[in-house]
Amino acid sequence: MDAFEKDDMSGVLDTASPPCISLYQPTHRRHPENQQDAIRFRNLVKEAHASLQQHHAASDIETLLAPFRALAEDADFWRSTRDGLAVLGARDFFRVYRLQRPVEAMVVVSDTFHSKPLVKLMQSSQRYQILGLSRKSVRLFEGDRDSLDEVTLAEGVPRNMEDALGSELTEARSNLGTFTASGPRGAIHHGQGGRADEMDKDDDRYFREVDRAISEHHSKASGLPLILATLTEHREGFHRMSHNTNLLERGIDVSPDVVTLEELRHRAWQVVEPFYETRLQAELEHFGSARAKGLGGESLETVAEAVATGRVATLLIDGDRVVPGHVDFETGKVTLADRDRPDVDDVLDDLATMARRRGGRVFVVPGAQLPVESGVAAIYRY
């Protein structure tokens, strides 16, 4: 979801020229289930074509649908899908997002993109990232309770120690071995003292560069908790160098290179689940305290106005509820829609998107745990 988060926060989706085509479908990771995915996609493109025919010339339609048709014929793409797919296209705009959750198949052609399914996934309060770190590789994963996938590193992130340090890497490093001691000092370097000191400096520079790059290119955009997966001998050094506020104190003491993806997901969830439970309870208590002091709100209209003016520091929304309608992003005015039309915009999603873009934190809370009837609870900055 890293790519969508960047697009959403930048506002680029709001600037696309209509008509805007939003196509969603469930997909499959493995053969033979995924054999029908491309066929279903072509059928959805046909639906988009039929919808566009009502108001647009044939030449415009072909230009708009050309990237969709090209994707349908990309055999390599269809061999590497995940659990869901979102494809958004408009004039001079085309985005493809592989999703870790199935989504309902649909095609929406409108003046704006239908991003609600993506927003729902992005605002899930149980997502996390894993930084897999060794001297030979830097890897990043993103997942939740049930799934985990490797993320393509941004261009500015080093792939290994040599990539990070280049000519500054100690030449004699490859001649020095390491082993993990049982004592409190952890790793012990064999070799001359001066060279061992240089190796320690290499590690510090490497950890600092990886930490900076991951924070800048991934953590800031996602806002997700970051779990460090590395050998015990590297964990303390990386935490000492790190300035990434998303990095969790508890990590996974194993290299991702030696365990399966499923085992890595299992270990990560053991770290993340208690973290989320503790954080959720703290936020709910914070809301109760803020409301008692007049710094908390739960009325849709009042909260929407506060979000629009940037007053909301934290927004808790009911993850099990839909409030059909939309919010004016400039004024905060709420317009409710027919409750028999759940496919229209969701007020709660609009509020969450607005809050994130104005620097607020958003938590999607199970409905049974949210102590309000409106579906939204806000903690104000002032």
CATH number (domain holding residue 202)? 3.30.420
The least confident of 5-14, 49-58, 79-88 is 5-14
Q: In this predicted structure, what is the pLDDT of residue 344? A: 61
Domain identity same for 15 and 116: yes
Q: Which residue has the tokens 């996602």?
A: 222
What's the pLDDT band for 30 if we cut at 50, 70, 90?
confident
Whether residue 206 contacts residue 229, with contact meaning beta carbons closer than 8 Å, is answered with: no
Phi, psi of 35 (to 5 degrees): -65, -30
The last residue of one of the domains, among 122, 137, 152, is: 122
Domain identity same for 203 and 246: yes
The last residue of one of the domains, among 82, 99, 122, is: 122
Domain housing 64: 2-122
**pLDDT (tens digit, 9 = 90+) per residue, 260-294?**
999 999 999 999 999 988 988 999 999 999 999 99
Residue 283, in any domain of the structure: no
Phi, psi of 159 (to 5 degrees): -90, -20
Domain identity same for 133 and 256: yes
Domain identity same for 242 and 157: yes
Tokens of 89: 């296209």
Average pLDDT rounded to a whole number, residues 94-116: 88
Calpha distance 170→349 (Å, rounded): 51
Residue 249, in any domain of the structure: yes
What's the pLDDT band for 33 if we cut at 50, 70, 90?
confident
Average pLDDT rounded to a whole number, residues 238-255: 96
**What percentage of the chain's residues is helix, strand, coil (to nearest 5)?**
45, 20, 35
Q: In this predicted structure, what is the pLDDT of residue 365? A: 85
User: 10 Å Cβ neighbour count for 326?
Assistant: 17
What's the pLDDT band for 5 if we cut at 50, 70, 90?
confident
The last residue of one of the domains, among 92, 122, 152, is: 122
Domain identity same for 269 and 157: yes
Domain identity same for 102 and 156: no
Domain identity same for 137 and 116: no
Instruction: Enumerate residues 6+ apart whose C-beta is below 8 A from 145.
Output: 126, 269, 273
Instruction: Enumerate residues 6+ apart whose C-beta is below 8 A from 20.
Output: 88, 89, 90, 109, 110, 111, 112, 113, 114
Domain identity same for 154 and 270: yes
Q: In this predicted structure, what is the pLDDT of residue 234? A: 93
Give me the number of domains the chain comprises: 3
Higher pLDDT, 184 or 194: 194
Calpha distance 189→363 (Å, rounded): 45
User: 10 Å Cβ neighbour count for 192?
Assistant: 11
Calpha distance 382→294 (Å, rounded): 9
E strands present in the chain: 17-26, 84-91, 93-99, 106-110, 128-133, 138-143, 148-151, 178-180, 187-189, 226-229, 296-297, 312-318, 325-327, 334-336, 361-365, 376-380
Average pLDDT rounded to a whole number, residues 162-190: 56
Q: Which residue has the tokens 């509020």?
A: 351
Domain identity same for 55 and 74: yes
CATH number (domain holding residue 310)? 3.30.1330.30
pLDDT at 183 over 50: no
CATH number (domain holding residue 87)? 3.30.960.10
Q: In this predicted structure, what is the pLDDT of residue 129? A: 96
Q: In this predicted structure, what is the pLDDT of residue 174? A: 46
Average pLDDT rounded to a whole number, residues 196-209: 85
Calpha distance 82→84 (Å, rounded): 6
Residue 32, in any domain of the structure: yes
**pLDDT (tens digit, 9 = 90+) per residue, 58-72?**
989 999 999 999 999
Calpha distance 140→186 (Å, rounded): 25
**pLDDT (tens digit, 9 = 90+) per residue, 291-349?**
999 999 999 999 999 999 999 999 999 988 888 888 998 999 999 987 655 456 789 88
Q: In this predicted structure, what is the pLDDT of residue 2? A: 56
For the chain, the C-alpha Rg in angstroms (whole number) is 24
Q: In this predicted structure, what is the pLDDT of residue 34? A: 87
pLDDT at 240 over 80: yes
Residue 289, in any domain of the structure: no
Domain identity same for 141 and 45: no
Average pLDDT rounded to a whole number, residues 198-217: 92
Tokens of 263: 């085992």
pLDDT at 175 over 50: no
Residue 284, in any domain of the structure: no
DSSP bridge pairs for 188? 179
Tokens of 307: 């979000």
Calpha distance 247→20 (Å, rounded): 37
Average pLDDT rounded to a whole number, residues 14-42: 92
Residue 341, in any domain of the structure: yes
Calpha distance 305→298 (Å, rounded): 12
Q: In this predicted structure, what is the pLDDT of residue 63? A: 95
Domain identity same for 185 and 114: no
Calpha distance 83→101 (Å, rounded): 5
Residue 285, in any domain of the structure: no
Q: In this predicted structure, what is the pLDDT of residue 121? A: 78
Tokens of 337: 């829609």
Residue 288, in any domain of the structure: no
Domain identity same for 104 and 201: no
